[in-house]
Amino acid sequence: MAGGSAADLAPTAAVKIFSAGTAGCVADLVTFPLDTAKVRLQVQGESKDLPKGQKATYRGVFGTIITIVRAEGPRNLYNGLLAGLHRQMCFASVRIGLYDTMKQLYAQGAENPGLGTRLLAGSTTGAMAVAFAQPTDVVKVRFQAQAHQPENGSVKRYSSTTDAYRTIARVEGLRGLWKGCLLNIARNAIVNCSELVTYNIIKEQILKNKLMTDNMPCHFTAAFAAGFCTTVVASPVDVVKTRFMNSVPRQYGGGANCALTMLLKEGPSAFYKGFMPSFLRLGSWNIVMFVSYEQIQRAVVRLQRSRESRFRTV
């Protein structure tokens, strides 16, 4: 996905993996409060119906953020951040860093891979990434979903990230750490295809038609479009995944039962709960991640080539 001058061409797979993982962490640091707001909106209403006339606790993305800050303090907007960074180092590094390699493998040397090849590559790296990162995703979601308000009798579900991994493994078994894995594979296959393929194609078309040069404005535009397309396509699966991961044992019989329960109790609109924070988060996350990814990738390649040229002169 990189382009530019000759000095920036052909980064290795290792460089792409490192750049993608680092860029994912940068994007999470910037957008994590939006992700927390999205999770709170998605799980709202799953435990019990609101009494007639009572307003929901969380209303809108910024209203949710303000409510969390007032009731729990600003630090709780970053609940689960450590697990989120664990996730990005495992997840983004594989799904984004290996995308070009997988695309070339499926293309079998073709210069311009077709849409089917791109989708297959995106689905493959998305599924592979879940296999590595699923436990970190479960812990992140549970931390973000818990409202810590001691005055109302609510207590922290886990005392730390390490405690969360240990407690889930002890109480729910290793299966608990991979809870919702199939849902996450489905969700991330969709997300990866929407995100990477859309970004890839839009960026190529911008450069092909010479609308922009291969620089930040081009990366920004392609990333924003990728974020919107991904949110529209992936929101229903994302909501079900969040609900299922956050659920207590035996609350749902499986991913399909979770989706059916949502549909019967809350209606079709439940599948788009938290859509605006999802879009704000995915759009901003894509922009920060892809811009960072391109720049980190190029910086690492320049550093490598600078070191190589120094060795040659010595």
Q: Tens digits of per-residue pLDDT, 186-218? A: 878 888 888 898 999 999 999 999 999 999 999
Average pLDDT, the chain: 84
Least confident of 55-59, 123-127, 135-139, 169-173: 55-59
Please report the pLDDT score of residue 111 as a whole number: 78
Top pLDDT among 223 and 141 is at 223
Which residue type does 134 have? Q
- Give mean pLDDT, residues 64-80: 89
pLDDT at 48 over 80: no
Give the pTM.
0.75
Q: Tens digits of per-residue pLDDT, 266-286? A: 898 888 887 887 788 888 999
8 A C-beta contact, residue 42 and residue 74: no
Top pLDDT among 283 and 52 is at 283
* 132 confidence band (pLDDT: 50, 70, 90): confident
Smallest Cα–Cα separation from 242: which of 55, 6, 43, 97?
A: 43
Q: Tens digits of per-residue pLDDT, 73-125? A: 898 899 889 988 998 998 899 999 999 999 999 998 787 888 899 999 998 99
Please report the pLDDT score of residue 4 as a whole number: 45
Work out the number of other CB atoms within 10 angstroms of the CB of residue 268. 9
* 314 confidence band (pLDDT: 50, 70, 90): low
Cα–Cα separations (whole angstroms), residue 198 to 8, 206, 207, 212, 253:
22, 12, 14, 17, 34
Residue 54 CB burial class (10 angstroms; 0-12, 13-18, ≥19) = exposed
